Amino acid sequence: MSLLSRAAVLTGAALIGGGLIAVAPAATAAPAQAQHFHCKSADEPQISVGATGPAVEKAQCELNSVLDRHVTADGKFGPKTESATIAFQGCAGLSTDGIIGPDTWGALDLWWWNDIDCHK
């Protein structure tokens, strides 16, 4: 799903004939599922145990969204974040090294944006 079409879904707009128009939700429409996670930072450097900062907090937030685990989004990459990273990498078919680099960021972003869950 493109970023534009995801935005359309989240804002109640529709894509028609290549254009974006606003539409009112139908009275019988099911309520939209709440977005539980709003992950901030746009930075995606390679991070691993010992790293700190906004990128770690973003990774922790996205890991919480795609895993049945609760990693504290405190911006400190410790053993629990490493364990969650390894579990996610296993779900995504990646090398389970506990390091969040370009491949893991790419998969994590994809899973987070598309609300894909890894139940590990």
- Whether the Cβ atoms of residue 57 and residue 40 lie closer than 8 Å to each other: yes
Residue 44 makes CB contacts below 8 A (sequence gap 6+) with 55, 58, 102, 105, 109
Measured between alpha carbons, how far is 4 from 19 in angstroms, rounded to an integer?
11
pLDDT the model gives residue 73: 92
- Whether the Cβ atoms of residue 36 and residue 42 lie closer than 8 Å to each other: no
pLDDT the model gives residue 112: 87
Provide the whole-model pTM. Answer: 0.66
Write out the chain's pLDDT in tens, 120 residues: 444 444 444 444 444 455 544 444 444 444 344 344 456 556 789 999 999 999 999 999 999 989 977 889 999 999 999 999 999 999 999 999 999 999 999 999 899 889 888 875
